[in-house]
Amino acid sequence: MEKSAATLKKVLGLTREPIAVKFFADVVALDGFELPGERRYCQVLMGAREGRRLLLTEDNIACPAAAWALGLKEPPAKLSSGEMPAAMGIFGSPAAAKHTLDTMPRLKMGKYKMVACCPLGEAHFEPDVIVVESSVEHLMWIALARVFDTGGRLSFDTAILQATCVDCTITPFLRQELNATLGCYGCREATDLADSETVLGFPASQLDKIVASLEKLNEKAIPRVRGKTVHRALLERDPK
């Protein structure tokens, strides 16, 4: 994991850590991990990309929507009815919010009791999902690396709601496929995710191939694009 994390950071130019996420069927003690006070899932990811090793259980998860999605807690009625998101101004009506919530992929209630998040390079377990929070350009190369050998198209599934928990963790885990999001109300309000940044997640089973493909992309494509070769030629022909 350490070598893969180092390659991701070097090739992409990441300034923060890619994140390893693992689900546990029971609450267990993990060396070097802390169980912080109440946190939202997106805040635990934020801590992990800054170098912390954090645990989330039903006792310290602060976001009812993420707790529901992760199968840690049943939702309050005002959430499942759509009343809460509508009252927050995210949707035009409780019915619209409920319709969106009804389409959310979720982990089976009670199947997992704990979620561990830490920098990928410090993971002493086999992660279930890798999450990267960074600039759109960085995430573009990860997505391209996913289809570098196979070709084809990627389809990203998002409701612009529960971006980090559902879009970039649960969806890649259940479908075993990379998924990206534009972010959501929650993660953009509750974390320091910049306006120019977003989030992507992929199953850990794809890590080796993505890293290998990124190294190949870095031989020619990435340096050329970052050098703005064609744009510079345009400016030389038609300076402003």
Q: Which of 179, 198, 200 is nearest to 188 (CA)?
A: 198
Give the pLDDT score at 1: 87
CA distance 113 to 25: 5
CA distance 114 to 12: 30
Could you report the per-residue pLDDT of 25-79, keeping only the tens digit for each?
999 999 999 999 999 999 999 999 999 999 999 999 999 999 999 999 999 999 9
CA distance 144 to 197: 17
Give the pLDDT score at 81: 98
**Residue 121 has what DSSP assignment?**
G
Give the pLDDT score at 38: 98
Query: Which segments of the chain have a pLDDT < 70?
Result: 240
Cβ pair 170, 70 in contact under 8 A = yes
Amino acid at 27: V
Q: How many residues does the chain have?
A: 240
- Domain ranges in the chain are 2-237
